[in-house]
Every structure is written in structure tokens, then in C-alpha cells.
Amino acid sequence: MVASFIAIGDELLIGKVVDTNSVFIAQKLSELGIQVIRRWTVGDTNKEILYALGEASSCCDLVFITGGLGPTKDDITKKSLSEYFNVELVFSESNLQHLKEILSQRGIGVKEAHLTQCYIPSNAQLLNNKLGTALGLWMEHRGKLFISMPGVPDEMQYILMHEVIPRIRELKYGNCFLSKTFHTCGIGETDIAEKLEKYLHDYLSQISIAYLPSIAQVKFRISVFGDDEKSLRMLLNQCEEKVRLNMGHLIFGEDDTSISQELGFLLIKSGLTLGTVESCTGGEIASKITSISGSSSYYKGSIVCYATELKEKLLNIDSMLIEEYSVYSKEVAEAMVRHSIDMLNTDLVISSTGIAGPDGGTEKLKVGTIFIACGNKQRVRIKKLMLGKNRDRNIEAASILALNLAREWILEKS
């Protein structure tokens, strides 16, 4: 049982919006054993939408569509759907009722532009959307299912999770597709591939491995596909065992996780509290840590001493030390940890200092030279990173590697 996905919107083609919906939909479908096999991204014109509907229905059983359900003039998805199905657009009283409810929650009345949202293809069932005015649509046509949802990510997610997934479960679609994703930090794609081809040598013909590099991290996914869930699960378990046995702490987590999440688990498990003192990462380490719900149980806070003045004033770091070694040095990274641990009243502190770029490098210290440190008064681990010239990438890489350094520090300790 396969699905395809049509993303509608000029904004997606012209490069003004990143399509995150496709990621969410694919993840949720893969949990049901449904594979997304193709995706089309087309503009807000009738011709383009009809092209994509035709292509999609010829290659799969389920067609997911996002975008073009709003109240503005470029929202023409419903018109195109009715043309493709050769059915009428009809005014839906339940849709109007929904519109009134949502708008009254926001304290505004129904405007004329909103009324166009109430016309739906006559073969459509409405899918409730608690978060916005645009309802989803569920349509059957020549044995295929078409599901149309708004493009606003949280509204699409609401409809998918509360309305679409339960209905699909009832239909009992789906072959068996299992996968497991492993996360690594600070090791390259080719090195991982070499290791896996060795450790998983006996399984390579029955599994597929994909490598998903991102900044400072590589994930790899082992997938198996077939009819018999039990034997597939056994195969996947055997692969996992080999991987864990041979790669140990190189793997920091699996499936939907992040380095912040895993560090959080480790802190909770070991009963330690954490603080941060950031210079070049400018709050990004703190932000990554606090993106995790429940982080307040182990994380206390950060001093972002972006200006050198604040390193001296707030942290009491000796200006002589800064002068002697430069503010971008392992000595200052270490002092940032030692001077803040009492202030923040935590068991360990992560620090960062360096040149994020793109400007600010010197002959001795190139752009991308960043020092990260982690520790307490007894033991500080420091790493010197030699990154590139891209500011965003450098901040992201240094933040992730700093979180990984804290993970290593705790694992070493225990």
C-alpha cells in the first residue's frame, strides 16, 4: 500500500517557504507501514494541480494534498479537486458552522472572503480542524483515497493526527515496513559506512541502509520491508545488536531523538544539574537544552557573555588572562566553566568561546576556531574545533558538539 504527496503553493516553488509538512506526513505514514513513494510540488494554478492529481492517482492508492484551502484568491485546491473528480462544488453548512465557531473564538465576525472556504467538492467528507478555519477533506475516487489538508503546519498536523490517521487505521491499509534510525555525533559518513559494511556484512542483502548527514551529526537508518512482521522485527533486532556491540557510545540515541534530549535523559539518570556560559554560540546551547520539555528539572540557566566586557564583569575573568591568551582560547573556555559553576549553582557547566564568523578572524586564529569546554571545578574537558566560514553552521556545530562533550563527560565520570 503506497502513498504519494502533493504540496501546493507558489511559495514552496519560489523558495519562500520550507516544506516541513512532507516530513511530518511521511513519518506518521511510515509508522503505519505506508510508504510515500513520490512527491510533487506544484504552483497555485488549476493546470498544475490537475497535472499532479493525475500523476499521483496513477501510481498509488493514497494521495495526500496540502495547501490552497485558505480564504485568499490563490487558494484554488477545492476548485481543482472538483474539476478533477468531475463533481460540483457545493456550499457546506457544517463548514460555515465551523467557521463561525473558530472566528468567534478569535473575536471576529465572518467576512466575505471566509465564505469561499465553505464550498467543497460534493464527494468530500469534512475533517475537523480545531486550530483554524480551513477544514480537511476526505474523498474517494475510482478506488483511490484523496486527503486534502491546509498547508499551515500545526493545522495540518492536527487534522492528520486526529482525523486522518484513525480513519486510515480502520481501513487496515499497509504492508510491513520497519526501520530504526541511529544517531551519531562527530564522526563522518564514510567512516560509519565502512564500519557498518563490516559489522552488518551478513545482513546486507536483506536490509537497506541510508545515511542522513546533518551539521556535526550523521544518522543512519536500517530498514526492512516485507510481509511477515515477526521475522522482520527479528532481523532488525539482530542488526541493532551488532551495531550496538561494535559502535557503543558512538551512538547517542535512536529514532526520533536529539542530542539535547539524550543529554537530558543522562542528566536525569545521573542526578546532575547543568548550566551554560556562552560566548560565540550566543544562547544557542541554552536554547537547544530548553527546547526539551521538562528541562527545568536539570537545567538552571545560562550566562551569555557575548561581549568581552561581560566576561570580566559578570564572570570575574581576569582581563590579564584574556590579554595573555586571547578571549578565544582554551584558557578562557576553562575559566568560563570554573568561574560560573558557583554562580549557577550546578554540577556541571558547558562553555563556548570562539570566532563564529564570517568576519573576525586573525592570522593566528582563523574564522571557525571555537573552544568548547565542559566540567566542574575538579575536572574540565576542553575541545578545540576548527570549523568553516559559515556563521550559522559554526554556531550549530559548536552547540551540538558542546552538548556531546557534556554527554562524554558524564559517561566518563560514571
Binds a copy of itself (CB under 8 A): choice among 163, 284, 331, 347: 284
The C-alpha angle 225, 227, 228, rounded to 5 degrees, equals 100
Quick check: 253 and 262 in contact, CB under 8 A?
Answer: yes
φ, ψ of residue 178 in degrees (nearest 5): -120, 145
Nine cell digits for residue 262: 539524550
Q: Three-class SS of residue 54?
A: helix
CB of 385 to a copy of itself, least distance (A): 15
116 binds a copy of itself (CB under 8 A): no
Identify residues 253-282 at the interface with a copy of itself (CB under 8 A): 276, 278, 281-282
168 binds a copy of itself (CB under 8 A): no
| CB nearer to a copy of itself: pick between 29 and 124 | 29
70 binds a copy of itself (CB under 8 A): yes
| Region from 88-96, 232-240, 286-294, 316-324 binding a copy of itself, contact rule CB under 8 A | 286-294
Binds a copy of itself (CB under 8 A): choice among 194, 241, 324, 412: 194
Identify residues 14-33 at the interface with a copy of itself (CB under 8 A): 14-20, 22-28, 30
Identify residues 85-104 at the interface with a copy of itself (CB under 8 A): none
Kindly list the distances between the CA atom of residue 193 and the CA atoms of 208, 211, 254, in Å, as whole numbers in the listed order. Answer: 12, 8, 17
Bridge partners of residue 213, in order along the sequence = 218
210 binds a copy of itself (CB under 8 A): yes
105 binds a copy of itself (CB under 8 A): no
Binds a copy of itself (CB under 8 A): choice among 94, 97, 214, 237: 214
CB of 94 to a copy of itself, least distance (A): 21
| CB nearer to a copy of itself: pick between 138 and 158 | 158
Return the number of other C-beta atoms located less than 10 Å from residue 123's C-beta.
Answer: 18
How many residues bind a copy of itself, per CB under 8 A? 102
Binds a copy of itself (CB under 8 A): choice among 46, 231, 296, 316: 296
295 binds a copy of itself (CB under 8 A): yes
* Per-residue binder mask for a copy of itself (CB under 8 A), 327-366, x = binder: ----------------xxx----------xxxx-------
Q: Three-class SS of residue 274?
A: strand
Kindly list the distances between the CA atom of residue 140 and the CA atoms of 124, 150, 251, 315, in Å, as whole numbers in the listed order. Answer: 8, 18, 44, 65
Q: Is 326 exposed, middle or buried (0-12, 13-18, 19+ CB in 10 A)?
A: middle
Say if strands 2-8 and 62-66 run parallel, antiparallel, or are unpaired.
parallel
35 binds a copy of itself (CB under 8 A): yes
How far is the C-alpha of 27 from the C-alpha of 41, rounded, in Å? 18
Bridge partners of residue 141, in order along the sequence = 144
